[in-house]
Amino acid sequence: MSTQSNSGISRRTFLKAAGGVTLASTVGLPKPTRAQETGRLATLIDLSLCDGCPERDTPACIVACRAKNIETVPEPVDPIPKLLPRGKIEDWSKKKDVTDRLTPYTYLYIQKADVEYNGKQKTLHIPRRCMHCDNPACATICPFTANHKDTTGAVVINKNLCFGGAKCRTVCPWDIPQRQSGIGIYLHILPTLAGNGVMFKCDLCLDLIVEGRNPVCVDACPRQALLIGPREDIYAEARRRTESMNGFIYGDTENGGTSTLYVSPVPFDLINAAIDTGPGKPHFNPVVRSMAKTDAMGTAVLLAPIAGLVAGVAAAAGSLKKSSKEEGPHE
């Protein structure tokens, strides 16, 4: 792990992003406590900057992400085993070129939104990928811990442990993880009866960020629309940009908070109405964390040992008292 990873990431990114003038003050302050480790990171996606790379066939971030990741997906077996008693095989291996939605081969794509706001017509280009939620149900309730939230904030699926049951996608508010059937550990167990492949999604380029480097999409963007840095700095920066453009944030409270802040000059409900949504095409709706409904009962579980202990000791004490009282007169 590099020693100056944090300030390294943030300074480089921010200086590149804003010419270094305004930002040096917020981000330039090296935080010695965090300098030793990567710490919690966050990313910022500035919709006032992303233009969808009009001069290229495919936007630069998508190209970079696919170049890094596509080869890591193993070829599925042929034929892919049928599922019993029911279940749909999802095979994207012959459609690797699809870049207008999330697939097991495309972890980042660009949504386009034509919106009218304040009497002005605007076209927005919106990079979409995993939000790397603060308390991601996709990871916490994976039955095999094949999906895990790293201390950097990155939420990462281990393709060697994943069974492809897609529980993570079911509980993800944005339908992010995408399945490729016919690969993975389930093939070696009961392929027709349990599991259905491996789930894939953005991993925030964990291998790079732990070394203090940037995700490849961040580095690839010619307009610095994508930023990464220490979490508090990114949150502060997002708020500042929002204020200065009189804009809006998405991702700071959604699903209980995330590591991905969208900053936009246009309200997100308008964007949401203008984009194509559906499977593999995430929305911009407000999202409450569904797992919050289990927090109260879960806390009761954590207190149950104490309750049992206290009750056990009290009952034993009561029983001892009773028997010592009875013993006297009766003999």
Partner 1 sequence: MSDRILYDKGLVKRHSTIVLIEHWAIAISGLLLVLTGIFQLPIAQRYYITEVPGLTWSGDFIFSLNIHYAASVVFIAACLFHVFYHALLGHKAMLPKKGDIRQSIQVIKSFLGKAEEPPFHKYLPEQRLAYAGMVMIIAGLIISGLVKTYKNIFAPDLSLGILLWATWVHNLLFILFVLAFFAHMAAIVIKPNRPMVRSIFTGNIRLDYARHRHPLWIAELEPPPALPEQTQPETPSREPAGEEEPLQDVSLPEPPDTEEEPAEPAPESEEEHPEPPVKNIGEPDTNHKP
Q: How many residues does the chain have?
A: 331
Instruction: Write the interaction track for ligand SF4 spanning residues 47-66; mark x where CB under 6 A is met and - where it is not.
Output: -----------------xx-
Residues of this chain, 148-207, that bind partner 1 according to CB under 8 A: 148-151, 153, 165-167, 170-171, 194
- Indicate whether 254 belongs to the interface with partner 1 (CB under 8 A): no
Q: What DSSP line would sit under 279-330, residue for residue? A: TTB--------GGGGGHHHHHHHHHHHHHHHHHHHHHHHHHHHHHHHHHHHH
Q: Which is nearer to ligand SF4, 110 or 271 (CB)?
A: 110
Secondary structure E strands in the chain: 41-46, 109-117, 120-128, 147-149, 155-157, 178-180, 198-200, 226-230, 248-250, 260-264
Q: Which is nearer to ligand SF4, 67 or 315 (CB)?
A: 67
Question: Which is nearest to 199 in space by CA: 243, 230, 156?
Answer: 156
| Among residues 202, 249, 261, 270, the one that binds ligand SF4 under rule CB under 6 A | 202
Contacted entry of partner 1, ligand SF4, none for residue 229, CB cut-off 5 to 8 Å set by kind: none
- Indicate whether 172 belongs to the interface with ligand SF4 (CB under 6 A): yes
Q: Which is nearer to partner 1, 112 or 321 (CB)?
A: 321
| Binding residues with ligand SF4: total (CB under 6 A) | 27
| Among residues 95, 312, 321, 325, the one that binds partner 1 under rule CB under 8 A | 312
- Indicate whether 138 belongs to the interface with ligand SF4 (CB under 6 A): yes
Helix/strand/coil percentages in the chain, nearest 5: 35, 15, 45
- Indicate whether 322 belongs to the interface with partner 1 (CB under 8 A): no
Stretch that binds partner 1, among 15-23, 72-80, 263-271, 310-318 (CB under 8 A): 310-318
3-state class (DSSP) for residue 10: helix
As measured in angstroms, the least distance from the Cβ of 308 to partner 1 is 3
| Among residues 297, 327, 328, 330, the one that binds partner 1 under rule CB under 8 A | 297
Residues 6 or more apart whose Cβ sits within 8 Å of residue 29? none
**Cα-Cα-Cα-Cα dihedral of 54, 57, 62, 63, to 10°?**
-130
Question: Which is nearest to 225 in space by CA: 8, 97, 49, 95?
Answer: 49
Contacted entry of ligand SF4, partner 1, none for residue 150, CB cut-off 5 to 8 Å set by kind: partner 1
Residues 6 or more apart whose Cβ sits within 8 Å of residue 87? 196
- The CA angle 144-211-10, to the nearest 5 degrees, is 110
Query: What residue ranges bind ligand SF4 (CB under 6 A)?
Result: 64-65, 68-69, 107-108, 129-133, 136-138, 155, 172, 174, 176-177, 201-205, 215-217
Query: What residue ranges bind partner 1 (CB under 8 A)?
Result: 83, 85-87, 134-137, 139-141, 143-145, 148-151, 153, 165-167, 170-171, 194, 290-291, 293-295, 297-302, 304-305, 307-309, 311-313, 315-317, 319-320
